[in-house]
């Protein structure tokens, strides 16, 4: 008879995937994550480390990690070894195979996806076992990242979205006395350039595992390439590592321009960030150009990053700016957030391409193809002033 392990037990006995009771598994992981949050808030880093070890060596953690990578959109996407876990038996074996001892990640499989500007973005696809290990250690890292995150960071975070970021834009900029100038920040190749040394020194997780992920390299045209900087786009843990690197900018701005003091409060410096896209408000162009921008550049340099001088700009609110596919602009003192012209053009181009590529398709089939594109775009923009655009 196949043994069914209790939720927190180590995963050394035989596992029946279909017999796993997921309710206590989830409960055990959430309980340990809550304890990690409390220890982080109390600054008890020794306890944090012990709790992380307990979670990453538990049956519950292993089972949830395997479940995540075998039920998401990339579950059929193999790494360099061509392996996928597509049967209950393979998933059960995988739960037992997730162990720190002897673990050595394989190189990433390099693929390219098109960007909006016509260029291609490199992605690094880990093997499914490496994705599961990342998902496992992410269970222990994410509670800390959430606890330490900047208040106005919205990208790749639990229960936060682009709509929340745009709402904060409205709150910050809509009032009559709101700041009139905006620094639009663009980080040059953020994911590709983050300093490994900074990550290894500051990310609160198992350093040996983190170092192995960062130095795994990638395979392109059967050639192994080293990775000396950056965290690859395509890995489950990469967005959280990028957030941890960029968190702290809002706190640094708040130290330099505290809201409680008179002159600094009048500076009206506010940060709104979604992953590596961010804006910073200010009372004057000179303030942003001469004081805030150098502070941001110094912050980025410490992490091996730099602002793109060509794409980073300072704009008056009456001229408007694009952020996360929306255009933010004041018209006669009234702030309106609308779908940006560039975003509308990209959407219409996608619709046209779909129609042209399926000229011979029956009408019903073409409608079925277009519906998710149109409804998805409308769903994204439904929070803003989009009636005229629709």
**267 contact partners, CB below 8 Å, separation of at least 6:** 257, 282, 283, 287
Tell me the two tokens of residue 231. 């965290």
| Full strand arrangement of the beta sheet holding 120-125 | 120-125, 108-114, 218-220, 223-225
Q: CA quadruple 96, 100, 103, 106: dihedral positive or negative?
A: positive
Average pLDDT, the chain: 93
Separation CA 199–CA 242 (nearest Å)? 9
DSSP bridge pairs for 170: none
Q: Which CATH architecture has domain 162-191+245-339?
A: 2-Layer Sandwich (3.30)
**For the chain, how big is the Rg over CA atoms in Å?**
23
Residue extents of the structural domains in the chain: 22-148+195-228, 162-191+245-339, 341-382
Strand order in the sheet with 326-331: 321-323, 326-331, 334-339
Helix 88-97 with 59-71: angle, nearest 10 deg? 140
Q: Could you read off the pLDDT tens digit of each residue along the chain, which spans 390 residues?
A: 344 454 455 545 688 999 999 999 999 999 999 999 999 999 999 999 999 999 999 999 999 999 999 999 889 999 999 999 999 999 999 999 999 999 999 999 999 988 776 778 888 999 999 999 999 999 999 999 999 999 999 999 999 999 999 999 999 999 999 999 999 999 998 999 999 999 999 999 999 999 999 999 999 998 999 999 998 788 899 999 999 999 999 999 999 998 876 665 678 999 999 999 999 999 999 999 999 999 999 999 999 999 998 889 999 999 999 999 999 999 999 999 999 999 999 999 999 999 999 999 999 999 999 999 999 999 999 999 998 888
The three-class DSSP label of residue 160 is: coil
Nearest to 71 by CA among 82, 59, 84: 84
């Amino acid at each position: 008879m196949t043994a069914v392990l209790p939720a927190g037990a180590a995963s050394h006995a035989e596992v029946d995937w279909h017999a796993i009771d997921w309710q206590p598994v989830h409960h055990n992981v959430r309980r340990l994550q809550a304890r990690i949050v409390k220890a982080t808030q109390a600054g008890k880093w020794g306890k944090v480390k012990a709790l992380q070890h307990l979670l990453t060596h538990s049956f519950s953690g292993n089972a949830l990690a395997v479940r995540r990578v075998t039920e998401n959109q990339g579950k059929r996407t193999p790494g360099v070894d061509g392996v996928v876990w597509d049967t209950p038996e393979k998933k059960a074996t995988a739960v037992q195979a997730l162990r720190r001892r002897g673990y050595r990640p394989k190189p990433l499989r390099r693929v390219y996806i098109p960007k909006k500007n016509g260029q291609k973005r490199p992605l690094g696809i880990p093997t499914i076992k490496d994705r599961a290990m990342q998902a496992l250690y992410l269970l222990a890292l994410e509670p800390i990242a959430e606890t330490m995150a900047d208040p106005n960071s919205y990208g790749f975070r639990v229960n936060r979205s682009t709509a929340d970021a745009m709402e904060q834009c409205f709150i910050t900029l809509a009032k009559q006395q709101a700041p009139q100038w905006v620094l639009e920040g663009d980080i040059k190749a953020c994911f590709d350039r983050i300093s490994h040394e900074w990550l290894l020194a500051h990310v609160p997780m198992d350093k040996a595992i983190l170092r192995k992920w960062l130095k795994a390299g990638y395979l392109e045209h059967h050639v192994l390439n080293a990775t000396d900087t950056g965290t690859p786009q395509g890995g489950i843990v990469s967005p959280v590592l990028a957030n941890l690197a960029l968190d702290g900018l809002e706190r640094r701005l708040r130290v330099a321009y505290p809201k409680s003091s008179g002159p600094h409060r009048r500076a009206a410096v506010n940060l709104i960030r979604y992953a590596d896209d961010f804006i910073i408000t200010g009372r004057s162009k000179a303030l942003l150009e001469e004081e805030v921008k150098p502070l941001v550049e110094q912050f980025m340099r410490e992490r091996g990053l730099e602002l793109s001088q060509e794409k980073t700009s300072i704009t008056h609110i009456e001229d408007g700016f694009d952020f996360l596919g929306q255009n933010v602009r004041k018209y006669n003192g009234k702030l309106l957030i609308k779908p940006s012209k560039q975003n509308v053009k990209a959407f219409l181009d996608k619709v046209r391409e779909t129609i042209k590529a399926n000229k011979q398709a029956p009408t019903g089939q073409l409608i079925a193809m277009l519906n998710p594109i149109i409804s998805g775009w409308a769903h994204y923009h439904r929070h803003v002033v989009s009636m005229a655009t629709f």
